[in-house]
Amino acid sequence: MYTSKLPIRQEIQDTHAAAAAHWASPGTWWSADQRAAIVDEVRKAWDAEPLPPWQTPSSTPGLVDPHHRLPIAAIDVIWRLTNHVTTLTKKWYESYVPSQLSPQQYVEIVGVVAQVTLTDRFADALELERVQLPEARPGEPSREQPADAEVVAHWVPTAPIVDGSWNPATPSDVPNVRKALSLVAAERIMQWVLIDAHYVQGGALADDFGSNHWSLERAQIELLGTRTSAVNECFY
């Protein structure tokens, strides 16, 4: 994985490698080839000359290969998620879902884009080579559907989750961001594997504001999270 003089913790090395293997594997609604193409497109979008948010790559000459492995709508969504996270609205979401992408396809894209953004912002900031994907694994998407998924409070459908790590007394009452990708369980699980390696493990969130985690004080961790969320204009 990463080669550096910096002391990169084993949890970070292991989870970034696991994420790369996950992206190169058949997903729930996209094939391994298509998921690798999502990763490529996130990197292409980030490294490109910036476009204004209303300008899609598909409407910009020369940016999208006409024989791309992904539908045009998926590419446009990936670029917007990657470069314009401050501008996402329900109206924008509804311009793609369900007319051009199914909610399941959209949620899987969100999961992969978000995970790649984590690993790439980490690598770029520390002057590391970005995580390379292993060869794409053969196989079909699982098309696994959670029971009882429906639109409740998020834009996207979500499924009930039982997770006692947040509060053992009320295991069905989990933070809404934990439910956000529940329509595609594999992405929700990968998201939480990454969270636990970089932030505060789920069960310790609410009750240990005086503790240190890794080499940082909890107050420093929360400042980093709040400032980053402010830069990304994340109201949640």
Partner 1 sequence: MNVVKELGDDDGGVAHGALLARLCDAVAGKDTEVMANVREQVLRDMGPDQLVDAVGVSAMFHMMNRVANATGTPLDPIMLKAGPAIAASIGADTFFSADDTPG
8 binds partner 1 (CB under 8 A): yes
Residues 6+ apart with CB under 8 A from 31: 136, 139, 140, 141
Cα-based distances in Å from 41 to 10, 32, 110, 119, 138: 28, 14, 13, 15, 21
114 binds partner 1 (CB under 8 A): yes
Distance in angstroms (rounded) separating the CA atoms of residues 232 and 236: 11
Q: Tell the smallest beta-carbon distance from residue 192 to partner 1 (Å).
A: 11
* Binding-site string for partner 1 from residue 119 to residue 158, where x marks contact by CB under 8 A and - marks none: x-xx-xxxx-------------------------xxxx--
Applying the rule CB under 8 A, the residues between 11 and 40 that interact with partner 1 are 12
Count of CB atoms within 10 A of residue 56's CB?
17
CA 77 from chain center: how many Å? Answer: 13
The beta strands (E) that lie in 97-227 are given as: 212-213, 216-217
* C-beta of residue 187 within 8 angstroms of C-beta of residue 107: yes
Q: Is 141 helix (H, G, I), strand (E, B) or coil?
A: coil
Q: Would you say 32 or 77 has its CB closer to partner 1? A: 77
Q: Would you say 64 or 194 has its CB closer to partner 1? A: 194
Q: Tell the smallest beta-carbon distance from residue 181 to partner 1 (Å).
A: 6
Q: Would you say 58 or 167 has its CB closer to partner 1? A: 167
* Binding-site string for partner 1 from residue 91 to residue 110, where x marks contact by CB under 8 A and - marks none: --x-------------x--x
- Which residue has tokens 């884009």? 113
60 binds partner 1 (CB under 8 A): no
Stretch binding partner 1 (CB under 8 A), from 22-30, 33-41, 138-146, 190-198 = 190-198
Residues 6+ apart with CB under 8 A from 221: 199, 200, 213
Residues that bind partner 1 (CB under 8 A): 6-9, 12, 46, 81, 85-90, 93, 107, 110-111, 113-115, 117-119, 121-122, 124-127, 153-156, 175-177, 179-181, 191, 194-195, 197-199, 214-217, 219-221, 223-236
